[in-house]
Structure formats: structure tokens, C-alpha cells
A and B are shown apart, each in its own frame.
Chain A
Amino acid sequence: MLFEQVLQQIINGLMLGSIYISVAVAFTLAIGILNFLNFTIPALYMLAGMVGWSLSQYGVPFGLSGPINWAFALFIGIICAILASLLVERFTYRYFKMKHGDATEHAIPLVSSLGFLLIFEYIILIAHGSDTRGFSTAFSNLDWRIGGFIISIPQLLSLVFSILIVAGLSVLLKRSKVGRALRAIAENPDAATIMGIDVDRIVPIVFILIGFLCGISAAIFAINYHEVSPYMGDHVGTKAIAAMVIGGLGSVWGAIAGGLIVGLSETLSIYFFGASSAQITVWGLLLVLLVFRPTGLFGHNAIGKGKF
């Protein structure tokens, strides 16, 4: 009986991991290609979910439309996350880099992205308050029972979908001209410029991907857990950072492994030790792993080298 319950928790953990995968990959793209710990990522995730919920509940603001179909509302939420990500690129990355050059390489983009995180969060808090909101979609209670185990079909599809998106991204980075240019920027931005790569035109692609991954992940969360909140980004953000570090900084496939490991350890920890134990287990695991393998499971010694 215990074995079956644990197995069920493992299934649940893997499904939960699918939420973390895309956000962890978003973090890993920012740090791997741009050497930039982008703190706005949790806010982008939250924006997609809350905008989707708001549109499906009330429609476009100022009475411009009535409530919108949930799927279309989530789609617009994803677009909003992408646009917000491009806004972050314009100000935290491009503007400050252009104005101050390498002196701002780490600190100013990092701190200003933290500023954007709080600004986005508080705009949503002012607009909709701090309550968790129910988000009903067409996918309520679609479970698949096999041999006493319950597998939520939307969750299973989400897991497959997340892995497919990341696999597609990996192929894009490996095989396409844009992917090659991104990897060149990751390794040596100066040499990339000398090769004729227009860094200012390519870098926004990273931010579009970041917004897209956050948006997709928020949509998957809303579909599977039927709720959104202005704080949803904070919960996922910390776990995704842990997933990225466990998988290895800058490794896309590492982010998948990290996401699944974090999801698993979270559900098993809650099952055995209660809800409050999850963060201790996840971050404790991370610290222990870093002692033995400082580069994470699939990471390399140097950020910006030998990735993807």
C-alpha cells in the first residue's frame, strides 16, 4: 500500500516537474547565453496566468470586450509575457549596457530585473488584489486510471508538451543559423560581432523565448491546477532556479532533469514530512549536490562555454 502511494507521489512529482521545466529553461537561457540572472522570469510567468484569468473573467479592460474564451485568454496572456520580456530586454539589458558598457555587466541588469519583478507584481496586486483566483478550463477532472494509479491526462500532456518544447529549443540551438549565432554570443560576444552577427538583433530572440516559455508554463499550470495568483511566480521561480542549478547552469537538458527532480522531491517531501518541508528538501538537496558536483548534473565549468 505504502509502495503504491509513493509511486502515485512519484507520478504527481513528475507532472509537477513539467511546470518547472519551462521556467528553469527560461532561467538557463538567460544565464547561459547572456550571463544574466533574469529575476523578471517569475513575474512573466505570473503575468501570463493573471492576464489570462482576468481576460477570461472580465474581458479586455475598459469594457472593450466581454469575457474571453479561456484558451484564447491564455494565448493573449502568453503574448503579454513575451511583450513584457521584450520590455525588460529594452531597459534592463540593452539600455543600461549601451549606456554604461561592461561596467554594468552583472549588477545593473540583475537589480533592474528585480525592480521589474516587483513592479509587475504590484501592478497586478493593485488591479486584482492578492487572492488566489479559480481558473476553470475545459480540462477539469480528466483522469486516467491505470492499475489503481491516477494520472491526470492534462498533466501527462503537459509533461510531454514541455519536453517537446525544450527538445525543439535544443534542436533550434544546435542546428539553426540563429541557434549557432546565439551559441556564439554565449561563448564570446565580441568574436560573434566580428563574425557579422548583429548581437542587438539576436539578443531579443532570447527574451522572446524566455517570455514564451514562462507563458506556456503558466498556461500549463492554470490548466492543471485551476488557479492563478499574483504570487504564483514566486513559488515557481525559486523552484525553477533550484532546478536550473541542479541540472547545471546553462544546460537545456539539465533544466529538464532538474525540473523533474525538484518536482519529485517536492511531492515526496510533502507526502512524508508535510507541506512546509518542501523548500527545505529541495534547497537542502541542491546544497548537498553542489558540495559533490558544483557544476550541477549536466553543467560545465564555465558559464557561457560548452553548453546546449
Chain B
Amino acid sequence: MLKVENMDIRYGAIHALKNVSISVGESEIVTVVGSNGAGKSSLLRALAGTVKPSSGKISFRGEKINSFSAPFRVKSGLTLVPEGRQIFVSMSVEENLLLGAHSQTGPEVKSSIESIFDRFGNLASRRHQLASVLSGGEQQMLAIGRAMVAKPKLMMLDEPSLGLSPILVEQLFELIKELHNQGISILLVEQNTKLALKTAQRGYVLELGSVRQEGTVDELAADKLLAEAYLGESV
């Protein structure tokens, strides 16, 4: 579904991503873990098309998409739920969803928005209220709902659990599994390594801009150094 080969990203003198290669298969949940500044968000932004990699090849559904604009990537089925939600706080909940469906046309827009309201009752009861009045958890649901109405084939989530209470984090990961069951592939960037490894099938460990390790989640979880660094378990 998605293949990144030998990607480099530079911001002036800073070499944010070095020769990174990752892939996400059809109906797969893949996670990318790593500490702050490892280059996780840069990777997702390059995939979404808002950051230009200095070298490397990005293929999506068998097609090279390096030259595709960010809006065209959304239209092709590649959506990003950005870090910090980035919902439009000056607009209503419904308007946020309509913006998520910007790349879509026709009568299905309305029905896909209604299906989001059916799925998230809290959002339905606040559909005409400003998104700024939503709680953190509701804002995250809105951010994911907004990505869902774009009808993605692959959804990328950047630190979705950030700032959420443990109960909401669990609900969030249930939702990610639900999306996966609907046939959407997931690329999950998470600082909650434990839950990410529990939810995904495969994973990559990014460190200082390079892939340090990759494998199935069982392989990664069995790695002692990784367990010590990211899972808080002593060896």
C-alpha cells in the first residue's frame, strides 16, 4: 500500500531523516515509535506532502507520489490526523467535518458526515457548536472523524493519544482497531509505545532520524534494549 525508500529530509543544516525506508501493507497497522526529535512527525509530514524530502521515493498503491501535491494525496486516499488535532476552533463541529470532506463531492458527503455523527454521539449533540468548546477527547474524535470523511485508504495518525486521559486513550485505540476492521490501513506514530505495540502488527523504531530497528510487534517487544528505552522495563 505505502512504500518509502531511502528518504532523507533536511531543514537547512538539520538532517531530520536519514535514509529511512518503511512500508505499510494492505489492511495493516504499522507503528513508528521513537523519542522526541527522532523525526517521526517529519516522516508523516513528508508522506502527507507538506514537507518536501530532499531525496528518496514514496509510492502509494503502486504509484510514485513524490510529485503529488498534498491535496492530491488526500484525494488519492492518504490522510493525516496531525499532532495536536489542529481542528478549526473558529468553526462548528459540522463545518470541521465538511472541511475534512473537502476533496469529496456529491451526495455521499452528507451521508458520510451523518455516519460520523452516528458513530460519535458526543459530536452529534454539538454539531452546530464551535469546535473550541469540545473537550480534548472530543477534539481527537473530531480530528479522526474529519480524516474519515475523506474516505482514506491509509490513515496516518501523529501522536493521537497525546494529552488524553487513560480511559480516552483506550477508547482511541479501540477506534483505531475499528478503522482497521473497516479495511483502512493505519500508520501510527505514538509515544505510548506499549499501546502502540499492542495495537499494531509491525513497527519501526526511529532514533535520531534513522530506522534503528524494525520487525513484528512481538519481535520489537522482545528486544531488551527497546524495552528498556521505550517500555520502561528494566533488563
Contacts and interface: CB of A to CB of B under 8 A. Distances in A.
A198 B71 contact: yes
B126 interface: no
A306 B92 CA distance: 11
A187 B85 CA distance: 14
B89 A196 contact: no
A307 B90 CA distance: 8
> Chain B contact residues (Cβ within 8 angstroms of A): what range?
20 to 34
Contact of B102 (A188, A196, A305, A307): A196
Interface stretch (B23-31, B32-40, B74-82): B74-82
B221 interface: no
B64 to A, nearest CB: 20
Contact of A197 (B71, B79, B80, B95): B71
A305 B50 contact: no
A187 B132 CA distance: 13
Interface in B170-189: none
B71 A306 contact: no
B88 interface: yes
Interface residues of A, number: 19
Interface string B3-18: 0000000000000000
Main secondary structure of the interface of A (DSSP, over half): helix
A183 B102 contact: no
A181 interface: yes
Contacts of B79: 194
B80 A187 contact: no
Interface of B: 48-50, 69-71, 74-75, 79-80, 82, 86-91, 95, 98-100, 102-103, 146, 150
Given A184-B88, A193-B49, 17 more contacts: A180-B95, A180-B99, A180-B102, A188-B86, A191-B82, A191-B86, A192-B99, A193-B50, A194-B50, A194-B70, A194-B80, A194-B82, A195-B99, A195-B103, A196-B74, A196-B75, A196-B103
